[in-house]
Amino acid sequence: MEISPSVESGFLDVNGTRFYYEVTGKGEPLLLIHGFNLDTRLWDDQVEDFSQTYKVIRFDIRGFGRTPATEIPFTLYDDTQAVLQALGVEQAHVVGLSFGGMVAVEFALAYPEMVKSLSLVSSGLMGHPRSEQRIRDTERFQEICEKGTREEAVEMTIQMWFDGPGYPANEAAGKARERYRVMTEHAFSLPEFGKGLSVLSPSPNERLEEIHAPTLVIAGDRDYPDFLQIADVLAERIPGAQKIVIEGSAHIPPMDQPEVFNRVLLQFLEQHT
């Protein structure tokens, strides 16, 4: 019987806030960066598999999960560097989902020596235009936020991002869907994100060719068209990047297709470990 690796967890007092973090396993460091309105629980289906080979690090971005928001100036790439430095990590394999993918790109440009490999999952890209479908759904979501209930807003968030636009409820991934709901409900109770935030300049979308870490781009075929387009842009412009589209997955492949996602990512990491 395999014994699960022990988990180190706690808070790191760096950069003017207290970052909640978890570290599991031993080996080369593997940093997992969650998406917007999510937290470390996003990666619950990855930790056991990955920690057999890697030192898996996950933390709550400032203002999400258990990491308090602040009103002081900050950048997400400096926050990421401060967390790794506080944990004694000089270089890591970096994985980011959606908004976390944008953070990972910023980090790879700001601290290239700290990134051994880069995996961008359903990643956003600053400045990329939104699809008409996403614009319509966002307008409907805003109407619900203004006139409807929080429960209705949470349910639409799940439909947009977990099930995929235009797709029925993903009952096959029911437990993960419920975990996504819990994270979303928690996020909706938090202060509005973004006070004090500055982004990398010049903008990452002007500098993708400067990324030289081995890069994997992952997308779900049920995601919004603009995110599939972004995956193409990242794969075309980041030198040597590989791209994989996971069938039957929407915006959150680590949750709705964890077995496939884990296999794809582990195969990539093994090539660069």
d(CA 114, CA 91): 4
DSSP for residue 74: B
- How confident is the model at residue 221, as a pLDDT? 97
Tell me what pLDDT residue 6 has: 83
**Residue 1: how many other CB atoms lie within 10 Å:** 2
Q: How many helices (DSSP H) and strands (DSSP E) are in the chain? A: 9, 8
Sign of CA dihedral 210, 271, 43, 159: positive
Cα-flanking dihedrals φ and ψ of residue 14, to 5°?
-140, 155
User: Angle of helix 225-237 relative to helix 132-147, nearest 10 degrees?
Assistant: 130
Residues of the chain with pLDDT under 50: 1-3
Confidence (pLDDT) at 4? 53
Report pLDDT for 273: 86
Distance CA 168, CA 158 (A): 11
This prediction has a pTM of 0.96
